[in-house]
Amino acid sequence: MKRLLTILCVVAFLSTACSNDEANTGQRAESEWNDYIQKHLIGEWKPISLSVKPLLGDVLLREDYTALSKPNDVVRLNKDFTGVLTREDQQKNIKSTAFKWYHKFEELGLVLPDYPVFKAVILHKSQKELEVALPLEQVLPYFDLELQEKVKKHIEQQEQLQAVFKFVK
């Protein structure tokens, strides 16, 4: 009887220990996956250039972001999958927009309130640089009028073109 009771206690102990360990393993795996996904993305990113080009092909228009007089434009990605987009408008007023973000295989998505989801293809990602491509027709309405005119002047057909943003930390 003692032996049977001992065996039952050991089985009960092992089954509860295994189930707790599995739950911890699942949480730990999710945490590790999020850390891997977020590697190099977390932080404050300043745009340094904007290019317009087909997804495959040569650059049709390239603008240094400093030439656009936008030193206060910043994208901040936080670890909890939230972020803040800080922009300077033509009147030099600074506006901040909170958003949520996600990362799938080579895709960075920004979910802004009252806007469509911006899905960017990650072209290059490192600790100090980030380069993403968005469909030009999706982001062109959000450019300043001066930049919109430059783009329209150089490019007649805007379909199938990408706006490539290069950021640095």
- Position 158 scores a pLDDT of 59
- Position 72 scores a pLDDT of 79
Same domain, 12 and 30: yes
Same domain, 24 and 89: no
- Position 159 scores a pLDDT of 61
The amino acid present at 19, given as its one-letter code, is: S
Q: Which of 144, 126, 137, 136 is nearest to 164 (CA)?
A: 136
Residue 71: partners with Cβ closer than 8 Å, 6 or more residues away: 88
Domain residues for the domain of 124 are 42-168
- What's the predicted TM-score (pTM) here? 0.71
Quote the number of domains for the chain: 2
Report the SS3 class of residue 109: strand
- Position 94 scores a pLDDT of 86
Same domain, 18 and 94: no
pLDDT tens string, the chain, 169 residues long: the values are 677 677 766 666 666 655 555 557 777 777 776 676 677 889 999 999 888 888 777 888 888 877 666 677 899 999 899 999 888 777 778 889 899 999 888 889 999 888 778 899 989 888 899 999 998 888 887 777 777 787 777 676 656 788 888 888 8
